[in-house]
Structure 1
Amino acid sequence: MKLFNKNDIRSNKIYKNVAFSFLLKFIATIILFVMVPLTLTCLGNYQNGVWLTISSLLIWIDQMDIGLGNGLRNKLSISIAHHDMEEARKMVSSCMAMLTCIIIPLATFLLFLIQITDIYAFFNVEPERIPTLRTALQAAVIFVCMTFIFKLIGNVYMGMQAPSISNLIIVIGQGLALFSTWILLKTGNATFLNVVIVNTAAPLLIYMIAYPITFYKVFPTLRPSLSLINLRSALSLGNLGVRFFWLQIAGVIQMMTANILISNLFSPEIVTPYQIAYRYFSLVLAAFTVICMPFWNATTDAYERDDIQWIRKADKRMGFVVIILGLCLVLMVTISPFIYDLWIGDKCEVPFGITLMMAIYTFIIIASSRYSYFLNGIGALRLQMYMTVTVLFFIPLAWLASHLTHDINYFLAVMCLCITPSWIVNKIQFNKIINGKATGLWKK
């Protein structure tokens, strides 16, 4: 089966983006594999577990754009499909203005909260082991909040069906963070505070460099302008964005609370093997994302042009990809002890149960995302929003499982259980829409 048809323009764009993105993901994978043992060496198991927990919390800030980034990429694709560049520029300008209005009060509130809260109790951390925890948190919030605005650049590239360029910006930022962390280690300055600063400041620096290149060289017709901020465009983005935000935040709640719950119910040290297993299988998730990401906006384009046949063919190709990646997960579980030994040596032990449960969790995400990428592309978000209610059961069920069994494997089983209903409903909804049989809520 041919995964891409190079004879039509839409598929050809996908082919080029996937090819380049795979190269970038390969580089990102190398960076990830080097970064994990490097930060473990810099910080040790305890401090590294705390840093990983903080990292998961920082994702909250990234998701607080109320879905505007994903809304922008959809709206840009629609404007481009209708050759309306003026509306596209209004969308970019309005989106950046809204992001700025969101992040300034949010950053102020978070910095105030960090100052007055007993953060050592919140993270279950001994003050003498990380005396700079509060300062590190404040620095991380400042850098991540600034990145929040500039990351709009990535959504512009995705909306223009060039996600590989967005990936390039991210990979360069990761590379700079890795290099900076290595410099800290070699110069004897690898403190908790310094590691947090270089890992949060590096992406911001790259986005700031990419801004003038993007809007003055590559897409000058999309350059944000104060005079083009438009209330109608802002409301349109907000309407669609809120739906995306709800979907984004549901996933973040589970992943963020997982780290915090593991840290509190078990120990900060257990966060490290959990995150190592998660990052190990994130290789498969990354490969799937590389393939699927271009389909999102290509689906928007196809749906706007009523090209349902193209969407059908694309879905069949995605089914083939899911099967192949599922087999890859089985192989990865089998060889995981050998890989862990090569990767992190004796710095940290990852139990087989954690590895197996994270493989199952990863497969469910992939199988569900196969349909959600297409549903997102055509704007069918309401039913997906309703299904996120299952995430609300995660915290009480995870807490109950942990207290009854004192076994992290049951905790991870609850994670898998809470995302399975969305997989089933996504599949049913996609098939109904694509076959013209969707009515009522199934169409939304």
Structure 2
Amino acid sequence: MALSDRSFARAPASILRLCFRRLPFGVGASEGRDRERYARAARSVGCNAVSAALGFAVVVLSVSFTLPYLGQERFGIWMTISSLAVMLQVLDLGVANGLVNLVADAKAADDDDAVQTIVTRGVLLLTVIGLAVGGVLICAVMLIDFQRVLKIGSAEVAREAVFSTLTFIALFCVNIPLGGVRKVFFGLQRAWEPHTVAAIGYFCSLPLLYLCARSHAPMPYLVLCTYGVQVASALILLVRLHRERIFSLCRRIWAGPGWRDSTVLMKTGSIFFILQIGMICGSACDPLIVSNVLGVKEVARLAVAQRLFQAIAVTIGMLSVPLWGLYADARSRGEKVFIRNTLKLSMCVTTGTALLMSMTILALSSWLMKVWTGDQLDVPFELRCAVAVSAVVEATGNSFAIFLNGVNELRPQLLTVLVFCLISIPLKIYLLKKFGTVDWAIWATIIASVVADYAVYIGLFRRRILAHVV
């Protein structure tokens, strides 16, 4: 179906647009573009707020509904499988993220043919990658002994874990090209559209999740009614690109010029690929490290603690991610004033918001845990404190990373991620074995993140980064 631009959260956007009227704009020709960029950001934030609220509701209710009947072991397995969505996103080889800047550059040049060529070839390339990844992952699952790796006590539960993982893999491979479709809208500075579609998916997941809990559905059904619905809803975006002739399989896509863009896309994508690998090794693989060192039951505590503070990450993403396309557009036009003012605003707002939310959630965490999980699971206060601090550090780092992505400064991030991984992985294993409590996995991440960011960005690349804003 066709979805018009005006149909996307006009009311929230009009309210938030008022908040941007007093922002510092450029002068002359750039002033109008600055206002339009902030208006687009306001619309994206408004739609993302709705999506984030529904997504957080799914996260909260998924624990309340399923933990009582799944039990700690099966719930920990489901959380481990759910974490694979973050861990395996790297398998798109960074092509989806590479699309953002290429699309933004072509859009800034008002070259509609180039936009169509880049988008179509990018999505098709991601489709091929998705098929290849699916074959490799299915073979890997067949070779892994789940019962031994995850320390599962029952062979029946291990079989359920295998089937759930295969279900996830099928959905994940379909989501690889759809992830590229979502990123296209960021490059077009229309980030509100993926957020709106995500909100539709979350809204549909809520009743399905309730029905699964009422019927004590096996884990594969839980995967389908959460992650599966999100994947299916993204098809709306592909249809929209096709209706606007941004995605088209016409013959000139193959015969026309522009294969250089595909080469640039692969080079840029390879850098994003390495960045994603590093972040996964450094932080997203925590459930696997914890389950291997302390057992899968500790993953349940870690997952619940992280989801308790997940509203912070969702809020920060809501505020900062739409700026990626705006930074890229301003970089293409050489408008440093906009980049500088937006970076200052973004860093102050995201850090302040994360700090306030983290302190509030931590202060209310005992009551929230009692209401949320009852007596089903004990999450130590030390673990909650660690996750609270981690949320603030992560928020600041993510806001700055969006700026670096937008101005196409990827190489400094490569060195930062390398330093981060070299510190965090051995530190996590050492601290978990030495102290035997899951909160040390979080503290290791915090230590590694702070050391890597300050050592690389401030110590080595300070002048290079400042050149984009001065």
1:91 aligns with 2:121: no
Between the aligned partners of 2:238 and 2:104, the Cα distance in structure 1 is 20
Equivalent in the alignment of 2:408: 379
By how many angstroms is 1:428 displaced? 6.5
Cα deviation digits, residues 290-324 of structure 1 (max 9, x gap): 11112111011111111111112112212321123
Task: Identify which range, 394-403 or 82-91, moves more after superposition.
Answer: 394-403
Between the aligned partners of 1:202 and 1:23, the Cα distance in structure 2 is 17
1:288 to 1:86, Cα distance in 2 relative to 1, 3 A: same
By how many angstroms is 1:429 displaced? 7.3
**1:421 aligned counterpart, secondary structure:** helix
Cα deviation digits, residues 413-435 of structure 1 (max 9, x gap): 11111111343244667863464
- State the Cα RMSD in Å: 2.4
By how many angstroms is 1:107 displaced? 0.9
Aligned pairs (5 A) from 1:137-286: 137-186=165-214, 188-216=215-243, 219-225=244-250, 227-229=252-254, 231-286=259-314
1:360 aligns with 2:389: yes
1:372 to 1:151, Cα distance in 2 relative to 1, 3 A: closer
The amino acid of 1:48's aligned partner reads F
5+ long unaligned stretches in structure 1: none
The amino acid of 2:159's aligned partner reads P
By how many angstroms is 1:42 displaced? 4.2
Equivalent in the alignment of 1:349: 378
Match of 1:421 among 442, 451, 466: 451
By how many angstroms is 1:166 displaced? 1.0
By how many angstroms is 1:135 displaced? 2.0
The amino acid of 1:436's aligned partner reads A
Is contact 1:77-1:159 (8 Å) kept? yes
Equivalent in the alignment of 1:432: 463
Between the aligned partners of 1:328 and 1:147, the Cα distance in structure 2 is 31
1:62 to 1:314, Cα distance in 2 relative to 1, 3 A: same
Cα deviation digits, residues 84-118 of structure 1 (max 9, x gap): 11111111111112112212222112111212321
1:111 aligns with 2:112: no
Equivalent in the alignment of 1:327: 356
Between the aligned partners of 1:193 and 1:296, the Cα distance in structure 2 is 35
Cα deviation digits, residues 343-377 of structure 1 (max 9, x gap): 22222121111111011111111122222111110
Between the aligned partners of 1:226 and 1:122, the Cα distance in structure 2 is 49
Is contact 1:136-1:197 (8 Å) kept? no
Between the aligned partners of 1:304 and 1:58, the Cα distance in structure 2 is 32
Is contact 1:53-1:271 (8 Å) kept? yes
Between the aligned partners of 1:428 and 1:294, the Cα distance in structure 2 is 28
Q: How many residues align?
A: 435
1:179 to 1:422, Cα distance in 2 relative to 1, 3 A: farther
Match of 2:332 among 304, 313, 317: 304
Equivalent in the alignment of 2:20: 4
Aligned pairs (5 A) from 1:401-420: 401-420=431-450
* Percent of residue pairs identical: 20
1:200 to 1:285, Cα distance in 2 relative to 1, 3 A: closer
1:163 to 1:354, Cα distance in 2 relative to 1, 3 A: same
Cα deviation digits, residues 150-181 of structure 1 (max 9, x gap): 23221121111111211222232233333222
By how many angstroms is 1:336 displaced? 1.0
Between the aligned partners of 2:450 and 2:466, the Cα distance in structure 1 is 23
Equivalent in the alignment of 2:426: 396
Between the aligned partners of 2:397 and 2:453, the Cα distance in structure 1 is 4
1:338 to 1:426, Cα distance in 2 relative to 1, 3 A: farther
By how many angstroms is 1:130 displaced? 4.0
By how many angstroms is 1:240 displaced? 1.1
Between the aligned partners of 1:429 and 1:331, the Cα distance in structure 2 is 36
Equivalent in the alignment of 1:292: 320
**2:157 aligned counterpart, secondary structure:** coil
Is contact 2:94-2:268 (8 Å) kept? yes
1:72 to 1:195, Cα distance in 2 relative to 1, 3 A: same
Cα deviation digits, residues 261-285 of structure 1 (max 9, x gap): 1112112121112111212222111
